[in-house]
Structure 1
Amino acid sequence: MKIISNILRSALCFSVSGLITTGQLQAAEFNFKLHHLLPPMSEVHTKIMLPWAEKIEQESNGRIHIDVYPAMQLGGKPAQLFDQARKGSADITWTVAGYTPGRFRKSEVFELPFMASSAEVTSQALQQFATEEMTDDFREVKLLAIHTNATGVLHSRGKGIHKMEDLAGLKIRAPNKAMAEVYALMGASPIFMPAPQMSSALSKGVLDVASLSYDIVGPLKIHELTQSTTEISGDRGLYGQVFLFSMNKKSYLKLPKELQQVIDNNSGIKLAAWMGRILDEMGAKGRTLVKDSGNEIIVLSADETRHWRETAQPVIDAWMDDMNSDGEDGKKLYQRANQLIDQYGRKP
């Protein structure tokens, strides 16, 4: 079923100046398709994708119309979404960078353990980092935004995870390559899996632990399939996940300059910050949902968190070494990412 953007005309969350009524909108001159992997009831769909598409339509005075297709309705697999935008089978796509391990190497620094702060802070840092360091990775698309969500936590079936030893032998969803390596070092058995598959995997016992941020708990009913959630103490989370919001370059370039400006005005660091802020709000709601369902929320002590950090350090070191092998300065990239997160974290 096609989900179109104008069903949420009144739900704009991203600041809109000079709202235009339906009667004032002209017939669209340019019709685009926006494709993503999450279900239509997800808040990424209802609070980010639809409002963004509607904002473009309103600010273009109806000259641009964007149909939003959730849940892979246009076909393909989540790992193919970036290439759908690159090749033009969809005009705009939103996907997880980590679904294609090794492709966006520099962005992986934001997925390393104990790197990510809040989604709003980390997304701004990542967007600036991409502008400085990753222009070549996105030369074939119009990058609208690169961002992260709320930091990942561990949702467990059965006995809760109070210490690292509790992970021994458990089958845990790995959100990206770095965290798969971390979980293996901690004694768990990592399994790569897109987020939408986790509900079924938990219910069938394919997974013991869902490594997942709070913002997607509700739509996937993770709180109904698990009994406890483990969080990390401190101002950096266990991990972050990088997302790509991309537009086909030909679709962008066929727009006249004034409509390209509409896209530009709704891209970049302000868009990344807005996406991050919405995802933080969604994460807070997800945590409340977990708590209200009666599930145990375990917060690791500072000492235990330090133990996890020390165990994960070889993964960070290995990433820097790999970047050095590729002719990059891994340590410099790691330090710059940390510097940017600290910088945006200090802003009022």
Structure 2
Amino acid sequence: MLAHPWAPGPPMRVVAGAAPSERKGRCGMTIRSEGAALHGRRRWPSSGIAVLLTGVVVAAMLLARPALAAEVTLKIHHFLPADAAVPSEFIGPWARKVEAASNGRIAFAIHPDMELGGHPPALLDQLADGTADIVYAVPSYSPGRFPRTEALEMPFLPASAEVTSRAAWDFFKAHLGEEYADYKIIAINVHGPGRIHVKGKGVSSLEDLEGLKLRGPTGMVNALMVKLGAIAVGMPVSDVMPALEKGLVEGTLAPWEIIGTLGIIDAVDAHTEFSGERGLYTVPLVFAMRRERFEALPKDLQAVIEANSGADVSADIGRIMDEADRRAKSRAQDRGDTFITLNAAETNRWKAAAASVVTAWEKDMAARGIDGAALTKAARDLVAKYAGTHSD
């Protein structure tokens, strides 16, 4: 099996504070040494003792030297727990890879779970005010600010997260340059197709949505839920668990990965999926740096980050999310949860009802001077291109 491109490098650990047995490495990260102990009473020849003592003296001299400081330390801020799939399998390994490629001239301080303060919708603004240098954020948590990006949220658009993330990068390059002019977009990905996860017996038909209080992640998804008869409650995914516990919502729309990460999977009973080649919806996320901060770096360090950006990086985040989806779904199966897959006829009823949401969005974009119909078609065509299937 080939190692994926973000495989961890040397055994370095990022820790909150350095214990007495730790030291600072060239990358600005704390290095914890875990040397092996000598066991037994082996008799060493005098030449061996001399070599051993020489090694100890050299090691002591090296440890006594001041650590080489990085030229720049970049703060990465995001809204996910540190042990979630993307932080642990992408953000951390990506940072180590960039540190190594820069020969220690770039270091990173990674702050998970909104550790630097604020709420997830504020992440992109934190690039401007200097709170963070790089963020992993959901653009649509700021309604209307990134309108063209919303084309990636159309109902029944997504294939797998990996496929759709590769399509999202192409869509960004072709259509979103103006929208993200103030940012250096390192990657743009989507999560796996969203499902409906609820307490109780589950959603088996459109009629089951009537009056159901469901959390939706974005304005587009909430508009879809209202059209389909649900009571949509918008909130970031980090707020879902408390909302379920307080009875503010009866379920949520989300991919498998995040409900497993945040424990939501333990608060719901039933899960609804759809027939066909496309999922109900997805949401784009960006791994972004303030452009001014990026351009202030020396050219060769810009090149290091550039070499670790783009379509393959975006697709790899999607792959990580797909794999995390499978793990979380398996966990729900092991629990004995209820699984509902709507058949083709019922899925087509949902698609027909959702069509007016797309039409309304395209009209709204036209009023803003944006060709929404062209964007919708471009997004669907790109997903079809990489999925190897037809465009719905």
TM-score, normalised by the number of residues in structure 1: 0.92
Aligned to 1:124: 166
Cα pair 1:86 1:140 within 8 Å, conserved: no
Corresponding position: 1:14 with 2:8: no
- Please state how far the C-alpha of 1:77 moved relative to its aligned partner: 1.2
Q: Deviations over 1:181-235 (max 9, x none)?
A: 1111121100001111111111221111111100112221122101110011111
* Pick aligned residue for 2:367 from 316, 325, 335: 325
Matched, 1:217 2:259: yes
Find the counterpart in structure 2 of residue 276 from structure 1. Answer: 318
Q: Cα offset for 1:21?
A: 7.6
Q: Tell me, in whole angstroms, the C-alpha distance in 2 between the residues paired with 1:43 and 1:118.
A: 16
Task: Say whether the 8 Å CA contact 2:170–2:311 is kept in structure 1.
Answer: yes
Structure 2 counterpart of 1:248, from 273, 290, 295:
290
Q: 2:230 aligns with which of 184, 188, 203?
A: 188
- Asked whether the 8 Å contact 1:107–1:126 carries over to 2, the reply is no
Match of 2:109 among 61, 67, 71: 67
Counterpart secondary structure, 1:267: coil
Instruction: Using the TM superposition, give the Cα deviation of residue 13 of structure 1 relative to its aligned residue in structure 2, in angstroms.
Output: 4.5
> For 1:270-301, what per-residue CA distance to the aligned partner results, in whole angstroms no more than 9, with x for missing partners?
11111111111111111111111111111011
Matches within 5 A, 1:82-97: 82-97=124-139
Quick one: which of 80, 85, 100 aligns to 1:38?
80
Structure 2 gaps, min length 5: 13-24, 28-67
Which residue number in structure 2 is paired with residue 98 of structure 1? 140
Q: Does 1:78 align with 2:115?
A: no
- 1:264 corresponds to which residue? 306
Asked whether 1:344 is paired with 2:386, we answer yes
Instruction: Give the Cα–Cα distance (whole angstroms) in 1 for the partners of residues 128 and 386 of structure 2.
Output: 30
> Could you tell me whether the CA contact under 8 Å between 2:151 and 2:372 is conserved in 1?
no
Partner of 1:3: none
User: Which position in structure 1 is the counterpart of 2:51?
Assistant: none
Deviations 1:48-72 (A, max 9, x none): 2111111111111111111110111
Q: TM-score, normalised to structure 2's length?
A: 0.82
Q: CA deviation at 1:24?
A: 7.6
Q: Which residue pairs with 1:295 in the alignment?
A: 337
1:32 and 1:92 in contact (8 A); partners too: yes
CA distance in 2: counterparts of 1:134 and 1:29, whole angstroms: 32
| Gap regions ≥5 residues in structure 1 | 1-11
Counterparts in 2 of 1:55 and 1:222: CA distance versus 1, 3 Å = same
* Structure 1 residues 253-285: Cα deviation after superposition (integer angstroms, max 9, x where no partner): 222111111100111111111111111111111
Tell me if 1:141 matches 2:183: yes
Give the 3 Å change call, closer, same or farther, for CA 230–63 of structure 1 in structure 2: same
Greater Cα radius of gyration, structure 1 or 2: 2
3-state SS of 1:136 partner: coil
Contact 1:199 1:220 in 2 (8 A): yes
Matched, 1:311 2:353: yes
User: Aligned match of 2:198 in 148, 156, 162?
Assistant: 156
Query: Once structures 1 and 2 are overlaid, which stretch shifts more, 147-156 or 20-29?
Result: 20-29
The answer (yes or no) to whether the contact 1:117–1:235 under 8 Å persists in 2 is yes
Residues in 2 aligned to 1:195 and 1:131: alpha-carbon distance in whole angstroms: 28
Identity of aligned residues (%): 38
Tell me, in whole angstroms, the C-alpha distance in 2 between the residues paired with 1:345 and 1:65.
Answer: 37
Detail structure 1 runs of 4+ shifted over 4 Å in the superposition. Answer: 19-26
User: Residue in 2 aligned with 1:6?
Assistant: none
| Number of residue pairs matched by the alignment | 335
Shift in Å at residue 15 of structure 1?
A: 4.7
1:235 paired residue number: 277
More helix by share: 1
Aligned-pair RMSD on alpha carbons?
A: 1.8
The answer to whether the 8 A contact 1:227-1:295 is kept is yes
Q: How does 1:198-209 map to 2 (within 5 A)?
A: 198-209=240-251
